Structure 1
Amino acid sequence: MFTGIVQCTAPVVSLTDHDGVRTFAVSLSPKLREGLQIGASVANNGVCLTVTKLVNDKVFFDVVRESLEKTNLGALCLGSRVNIERSLVFGQEIGGHLVSGHVVSCAQLMAIERGEGQVRMRLSLPSQWMKYVLHKGFIAVNGCSLTVGERFDDGFSLYLIPETLAITNLSDSQVGDRLNIEIDSQTQTIVDTVERVMAARQDQ
């Protein structure tokens, strides 16, 4: 479980493909490696991955084909900056919202508008996920807990403050990029429950 508060960006320093699995490593600071063990969960661009090996400052992860196809981890290359968040420690402050690290889809970045003090991004999302996107609701984008600025039939917009851009890799994003999306689990539960109740009433 995570909070959607990215702790740092880390560069990809190793990348190999073998038997349908991609193994990559990121370089983490001593502070973020503190207490980290093989088998621990770490969110990479919002994708919950398991630590498979630790070598000096390098932390290794394996990504299976399904995750490579569903997320933007398949587009990583040496030097790519990845948003990193260690798993939630209960008892600590939750600054974002509860995030599972299960990316449901990618949104395509359609436009970027840079203004004074903020950046507006407009993203396009597959239609089956739009019913879970609410105006001022939570959404995780590349692992960042963000608030939906505006909602459209085919997507939504985000307003990013300088702090978010400074800490995360969203500042690297270009029009056409694919960004990992995790919808808010509570919103999904409520929407799905209402749909089931309404369908049951119609069948009566």
Structure 2
Amino acid sequence: MFTGIIACTGQLSDRQPHGEDQTLTITAPDFDFSACNLGDSIAVNGVCLTAVALDTHTFSADVSVETLTHTTLGALALGDRVNLESALTLSTPLGGHLVSGHVDGVGELLSRKQDARSERLTFRAPDALSRYIAAKGSITIDGVSLTVNNVTEHTFSVNIVPHTLARTIIDDYQINTAVNLEVDLLARYIERLLQDKESTPTLSLERLRALGY
């Protein structure tokens, strides 16, 4: 699990193919990977990856064809910047929201404009994800925890404050930039609870008490 609060940015320094899979190496001068262990989870642009090699300022991870196909990691070029976050621990302040690191889909930047000292960015979301995105709800864009401002049928907008622009790769975005999206965990679980009402007991106070809540 992650919080969506980016520790720093790094860059893709190597890509080694292994058939359809690949090993990606990330270099980050501001990230001390010596505090991590082999097998630890590190989020790269919001994608949870498992460290298979570590050095002081680099780490490598094996990336499956599934991840390369359904996230933006497969399109990264050598030297491209990425957002980095180490996994949440019980002592980590939850400054953002609970993020799984499992990308739900890829969105696209439609517009960006100045909004006082912030910037307002509008994205197109895949049709299958639009129903999970709500005004004032949370969304993760390339691993960054953000609050949704406005929602239409197929788009949503967020405001990016100067600190976030300076600490993440969002300032690199151009029109049509593809981004990894992860919707709020609660929205997905609520939908699942409401599915198949005939075969699933009705969610009620009595049902919650019976489940130990």
Same fold (TM over 0.5): yes
Shift of 1:69: 1.1
* Residue 84 in structure 1 maps to residue 84 in structure 2: yes
Residue equivalent to 2:54: 54
Matches within 5 A, 1:32-51: 32-51=32-51
Cα 1:39–1:117 change in 2 (3 A) is: same
CA contact (8 A) 2:8 2:30 kept: no
What displacement does 1:41 show? Answer: 0.4
**Distance across 1 between alignment mates of 2:155 and 2:61:** 31
Q: Say whether 1:153 aligns with 2:153.
A: yes
What fraction of aligned residue pairs are identical, expressed as a percent? 34
- 1:175 partner letter: I
SS at match of 1:34: helix
Corresponding residue for residue 105 of structure 2: 105
Give the deviation of 1:112 after TM superposition. Answer: 1.2
CA deviations over 1:12-34 (Å, ceiling 9, x no partner)? 11122221112111113475313
For each residue in 1:126-176, what CA deviation from the matched residue of structure 2 results, as whole angstroms up to 9, or x when unmatched?
111111101100111100000001001012111100011100001101111
- Structure-1-length-normalised TM-score: 0.92
> Which moves more between the two structures, 168-177 or 192-201?
192-201
Q: Which runs of 5+ in 1 are unaligned?
A: none
User: In structure 1, how many angstroms separate the alpha carbons of the residues matched to 2:56 and 2:123?
Assistant: 38
TM-score under structure 2 length normalisation: 0.88
Offset of residue 75 of structure 1: 1.2
CA RMSD, 1 decimal: 1.9
Distance change (3 Å), C-alpha of 1:56 and 1:3: closer
Taking a change above 3 Å as real, the CA distance of residues 199 and 155 of structure 1, as seen in their structure-2 partners, is farther
Partner residue, 2:189: 189
Question: Residue 92 of structure 1: SS of its match in structure 2?
Answer: coil
The Cα offsets for residues 53-97 of structure 1, whole Å up to 9 and x where unpaired, read as 124532111111111111110111111111000000112211000
SS of 1:11's equivalent in the other structure is strand
What residue number does 2:210 align with?
none
Whether 1:22 and 2:22 are equivalent positions in the alignment is: yes
Q: Give how far 1:199 is off.
A: 9.7
The alpha-carbon distance between structure 1 residues 197 and 50, as it changes in their structure 2 partners (threshold 3 A), is: same
CA contact 2:32–2:57 (8 Å) conserved in 1: no
Do the aligned partners of residues 199 and 115 (structure 1) sit closer, same or farther apart at CA in structure 2, a change above 3 Å counting?
farther
Aligned residue type for 2:97: H
User: What's 1:124 paired with?
Assistant: 124
Name stretches of at least 5 consecutive residues in structure 2 with no aligned partner.
202-213
Distance in 2 (CA, whole Å) between partners of 1:150 and 1:196 is 30
SS of residue in 2 equivalent to 1:109: strand
